[in-house]
C-alpha cells in the first residue's frame, strides 16, 4: 500500500502577498490590472548579506524565501539529511540574469560577463540553493515543463516519498520572468492580454497576464509526521503527468490530454470523479486553454460537477510557479473552508460547457478532495489531488 503523504509546511511569495497568510488574504481581494509583480521585493531578510543576495537570481530569491517560511511552519523535521529531498520546478529559470549579461557582453565585451552568470541562470539554481542552505542531501532535482513545472514537482516529490526514497520533500515552483525580451516574446505570440486583464472563462478573455512568485510545500510521510506531532495541513492523495503530443502551444482538441491527466490522477489517488468537490483550474484566460479545460472538466466529472475557480484572476500566470501557487491555494482553501472567486470572470463564455464557477464572492466549502490542474506549452499536463487532513 502506498505511503500517505502529508503537507506540513507552506511558504508563498506572490504579487498579492508575501507569506501564506498574506497570499490568502490577497486571493480574496479585487486585483489591480496589468502585470502581476511582487511589489517592493527586498531579499535581504532571507540572505546573510547583500553580496549573497546579489549572487542569486530573483527566482532563486523567491524560492529561498518560500522554502524558509514553509520549513519554519513544519518545525523540526527530525529526519536524516539524506532522507530529505528538494524538487523545485521552473519554466525559464534565471532569465533575468541571462538577459542582463547578454546585454553586458554585447555592449562591453566578453570580460564584463559575470562569472556568476551560469550558477545564477541555471534552472536548478533555486533547488540547489535550498538544498545547500538547509543541508538536505536527498535527491535535488528541477523539473522544467513550462507552466506545469510546479505541479509536476509536487507530484514527483509525492512519488519519491511513496517509493520510500525520502521521508520529506521540499517541493514547489519559482519564476521571475519579467525581462524586456521575454515580455516581447509573449506579446508577439499574442499570448498576453491586450488589456492587462485576467478573465478566466469569461467571454471577453483575450490572453493571460504574466506574473512571478514562488510557493513551496513541505511534504512528509504521514505516519512520521503524526509521530512527531506535526500539524497536518492537508494530504496529497496522488498526481498525474501526461502529454498532449499535439502542438507546441495549443491544447489538444476537446481537452483530451487534460481528460487523460485528471483521470490518471484520480486513479493514482484511489478515488472516483464523484469524490472530487473542488477544482483549482489552470484557467489562464486564453481562449483555447480555458475552452479545452472546461470541456475536459465536463467530460470527467458528473453534473453538476466540482466547484471550480481560477486563482489566476488574482495572481496572473506565474508560468512554472503557477501550479505550486495553486496547490498552496487549495491547501489554504481547505484550512479556511472557503473557495476564492475567479476575479475577472463576470460574463461566463456561453460557448463553453457549463461548469460550476465561483464568481463575485468567495464560496463557503466543506472541504473534500480537490484537484489542482496545470497545462503547459509543449503539451505538458499535470494534476495533483489534495484532500483534508484525517482529522478535518
The predicted model scores a pTM of 0.97
Choose, from 152, 159, 278, 317, the residue flagged as catalytic. 317
Q: List, in order of start, the domains of the chain with CATH numbers.
A: 5-376 (3.40.47.10)
Report the helix count and the strand count for the chain, using DSSP H and E.
Answer: 13, 14
pLDDT band at 147 (very low <50, low <70, confident <90, very high): very high
Q: Report the pLDDT averaged over residues 316-323.
A: 98
Mean pLDDT of the chain: 96
Report d(CA 201, CA 205) in Å as an integer.
7
Question: Would you call 337 a catalytic residue per the annotation?
Answer: no
* Cβ–Cβ < 8 Å for 216, 324: yes
3-state SS, one letter per residue, for 88-121: EECCCCCHHHHHHHHHHHHHHCHHHCCCCHHHHH
Question: Which residue in 140, 147, 166, 261 is the catalytic one?
Answer: 147
Percent share of the chain, pLDDT over 70: 99
- 253-272, pLDDT tens digit by residue? 999 999 999 999 999 999 99
Model confidence pLDDT, tens digit, residues 75-101: 999 999 999 999 999 999 999 999 999
User: Active site includes 152?
Assistant: no
- The DSSP output letter for 384 is E
Active site residue 317: yes
Amino acid at each position: 500500500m502506498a505511503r500517505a503523504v502529508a503537507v506540513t509546511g507552506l511558504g508563498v511569495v506572490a504579487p498579492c502577498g508575501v507569506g501564506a497568510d498574506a497570499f490568502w488574504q490577497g486571493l480574496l481581494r479585487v486585483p489591480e490590472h496589468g502585470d502581476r509583480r511582487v511589489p517592493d521585493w527586498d531579499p535581504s531578510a532571507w540572505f546573510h548579506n547583500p553580496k549573497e543576495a546579489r549572487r542569486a537570481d530573483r527566482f532563486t530569491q523567491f524560492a529561498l524565501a518560500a522554502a524558509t517560511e514553509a520549513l519554519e511552519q513544519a518545525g523540526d523535521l527530525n529526519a536524516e539529511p539524506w532522507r530529505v529531498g528538494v524538487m523545485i520546478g521552473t519554466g525559464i529559470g534565471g532569465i533575468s540574469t541571462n538577459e542582463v549579461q547578454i546585454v553586458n557582453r554585447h555592449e562591453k565585451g566578453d570580460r564584463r560577463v559575470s562569472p556568476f552568470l551560469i550558477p545564477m541562470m541555471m534552472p536548478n539554481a533555486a533547488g540547489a540553493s535550498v538544498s545547500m542552505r538547509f543541508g538536505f542531501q536527498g535527491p535535488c532535482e528541477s523539473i522544467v515543463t513550462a507552466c506545469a513545472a510546479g505541479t509536476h514537482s509536487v507530484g514527483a516529490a509525492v512519488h519519491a516519498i511513496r517509493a520510500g526514497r525520502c521521508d520529506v520533500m521540499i517541493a514547489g515552483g519559482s519564476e521571475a520572468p519579467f525581462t524586456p525580451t521575454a515580455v516581447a516574446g509573449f506579446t508577439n505570440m499574442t499570448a498576453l492580454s491586450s488589456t492587462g486583464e485576467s478573465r478566466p472563462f469569461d467571454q471577453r478573455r483575450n490572453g493571460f497576464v504574466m506574473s512571478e512568485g514562488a510557493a513551496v510545500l513541505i511534504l512528509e510521510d504521514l505516519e512520521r509526521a503524526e509521530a512527531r506531532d506535526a500539524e497536518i495541513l492537508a494530504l496529497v492523495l496522488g498526481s498525474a503527468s501526461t502529454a498532449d503530443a499535439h502542438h507546441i502551444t495549443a491544447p489538444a482538441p476537446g481537452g483530451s490530454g487534460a481528460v487523460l491527466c485528471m483521470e490518471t490522477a484520480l486513479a493514482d489517488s484511489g478515488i472516483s470523479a464523484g469524490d472530487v468537490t473542488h477544482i483549482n483550474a489552470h484557467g489562464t484566460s486564453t481562449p483555447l486553454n480555458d475552452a479545452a479545460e472546461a470541456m475536459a472538466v465536463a467530460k470527467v466529472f458528473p453534473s453538476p460537477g466540482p466547484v471550480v475557480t481560477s486563482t489566476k484572476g488574482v495572481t496572473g500566470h506565474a508560468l512554472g510557479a503557477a501550479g505550486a501557487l495553486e496547490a498552496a491555494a487549495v491547501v489554504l482553501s481547505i484550512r479556511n473552508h472557503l473557495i476564492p472567486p475567479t476575479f475577472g470572470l463576470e460574463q461566463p463564455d456561453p460557448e463553453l460547457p457549463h461548469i460550476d464557477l465561483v464568481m463575485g464572492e468567495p464560496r463557503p466549502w466543506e472541504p473534500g478532495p480537490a484537484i489542482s490542474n496545470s497545462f503547459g506549452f509543449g503539451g505538458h499536463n499535470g494534476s495533483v489531488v489534495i484532500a483534508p487532513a484525517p482529522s478535518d
